[in-house]
Amino acid sequence: MVSERERQLIEQAYAEIDKHKETVESDYYRLKYHLMPPVGLMNDPNGFIHWNGTYHVFYQWMPFKTGHGAKFWGHYTSSDLVNWKHEKIALAPSEWFEKNGCYSGSAVDNDGVLTLFYTGNVKDESGNRQTYQCMAVSENGVDFTKKGVVVELPGGYTAHFRDPKVWKKDDCWYMIVGAQSESLDGQAVLFRSKNLIDWEHLGAITGGNSKQLGYFGYMWECPDLFELDGQDVLMVCPQGLKAEGMLYNNVYQSGYFVGRLNYETAEFVHGPFTELDRGFEFYAPQTTLDAKGRRLLIAWMGVPDQDEDKHPTIAHKWIHALTLPRELKLMDGKLYQKPVEELQQLRKDEVMYSDVTIVNEEIALEGICGDVAELKIGQIRQSKGIFEMNIRNVARLIYDSHERIFTLERKSFVNQLTEKRQCYLEKLHSLHIFLDTSSIEVFINDGEEVFTARIFPYRENRLITFAANSQVLFNIAKWNL
């Protein structure tokens, strides 16, 4: 059932798509195999689920401008995580409890009913915020009926309380919410329910100023909690961390803690925070378990408030995209991310070389170039010096085997100056790179580290070069996608 207000909003959003279709689609920087908004702004992935054999990814969507505001939930489906269909709008911010945005949330299968939880964002005339955790249900997976508010703001927190992620454990449902305490610390807050409607507040499982963490940001957004390899992983997006050397260089962070959640006492005993991605644009990841038993992750290829008004694509009336879907593994307490294997379907025009040898020179390899491509570089043998790849004259990947530092450099889309992100890396064995017209995702050593970024190269420039100041050997395969 759709209210009159909702019907109007949905109609206006479709009109906006039609109005700007040509402008949007004529943009060279439209991605070829990533999820994007049809117009306007996309941010967090929401409601990621494998339901009745179909993958669903909803997303935060502002149809009317390339900035933030009263968000809708857009909706994509796929049978294989590669070919996606844009579905009808799932939620529009029409009711009093969500009038300033159907904010982020998640999806579960409740006995065959696709059930969404999201934050109803409300602001009054003087800008004061209210927050409600809301529910919507669907029998067919595309038409949603709103059930209204299921969780009101508990005492002890400010109205920065949002992004419910729901899962089932034994015979109870649990919800984790991103929060700001009244003392202005970011926290992750747990609720429990038997029926998805009545929720019991169990309290913060961890957060800033807890026993385990000192100050750790003033707000935590988009929490996700799941079991992997016998451990509990809490992913969160803390806001307000200061850069520390190579760490925390984006405006806001996205990372995880590994530990054990005691579901009775709501205590989460955990290790240190690790950033999920070392690149420039990565935020608000969400995971789901699919029918193959894989823990899959998809994230926003953007960061809130990070030069959003400077993206080249806003001239074409759209901004932002989602990352590739990735499979997670936990090894020695560390999350590894790999692009899902289904992406191999996209491969064409294979080019391969074995034992490429570079000695103190910069080279190009015939057929290893392009703008929408996958590159697999394996068996990297680099005993000393620096190995470097230059991609389309806009990004450079550099491994310094002496310092043991991996660097992604790019030309800033704000001022064309060089900027970099880095991480410590004991040894470089392999690189798996996905290039799209305006993005790069680099998976290092089978997903031990990942760098995700938007890049805006000249359309004509497809050149990829390799350089070493000592000797480097490797095997390489490349496909156009």
Least separation in angstroms between residue 65's CB and ligand FRU is: 13
User: What is the three-state SS of 84-134?
Assistant: EEECCCCECCCCHHHCCCEEEEEEEEECCEEEEEEEEEEECCCCCEEEEEE
* Residue 469 contacts residue 365 (beta carbons within 8 Å): no
- Does 312 help bind ligand FRU (rule: CB under 6 A)? no
- Does 278 help bind ligand FRU (rule: CB under 6 A)? no
* Residues assigned a catalytic role: 44
- Does 250 help bind ligand FRU (rule: CB under 6 A)? no
Nearer to ligand FRU (CB atom), residue 71 or residue 75 = 71
- Does 103 help bind ligand FRU (rule: CB under 6 A)? yes
* Residue 463 contacts residue 442 (beta carbons within 8 Å): no
* Residue 318 contacts residue 37 (beta carbons within 8 Å): yes
Q: Using the rule CB under 6 A, which residue among 10, 29, 36, 44 binds ligand FRU?
A: 44
Nearer to ligand FRU (CB atom), residue 303 or residue 433 = 303
The two tokens of residue 146 are: 């709103």
The two tokens of residue 57 are: 């990814």
- The CA dihedral of 320, 256, 445, 361, to the nearest 10 degrees, is 60
Least separation in angstroms between residue 437's CB and ligand FRU is: 24
Q: Using the rule CB under 6 A, which residue among 39, 43, 226, 328 binds ligand FRU?
A: 43
Q: Using the rule CB under 6 A, which residue among 50, 56, 71, 146 binds ligand FRU?
A: 71
Q: By rule CB under 6 A, what string of x and - marks binding of each residue 287-306 to ligand FRU?
A: -----------------x--
Q: Which of residues 145-164 bind ligand FRU (CB under 6 A)?
A: 162-163
- Does 221 help bind ligand FRU (rule: CB under 6 A)? yes
Q: What are phi and psi of 26, to 5 degrees?
A: -85, 0
Which run of H or of E encompasses 355? Answer: strand 348-363
Least separation in angstroms between residue 284's CB and ligand FRU is: 5
- Does 69 help bind ligand FRU (rule: CB under 6 A)? no
Count of residues that bind ligand FRU according to CB under 6 A? 14
CB burial readout 219-238, b (16+ within 10 A) else e: bbbbbbbbeeeeebbbbbbb
DSSP string across 208-241: TTSSS-SS--SEEEEEEEEEETTEEEEEEEEESP
Nearer to ligand FRU (CB atom), residue 46 or residue 390 = 46
Q: How far apart are CA 286 and CA 298, in angstroms?
A: 6
Nearer to ligand FRU (CB atom), residue 71 or residue 278 = 71
- Does 222 help bind ligand FRU (rule: CB under 6 A)? yes
Q: Which residues bind ligand FRU (CB under 6 A)?
A: 43-44, 60, 71, 103-104, 119, 162-163, 221-222, 283-284, 304
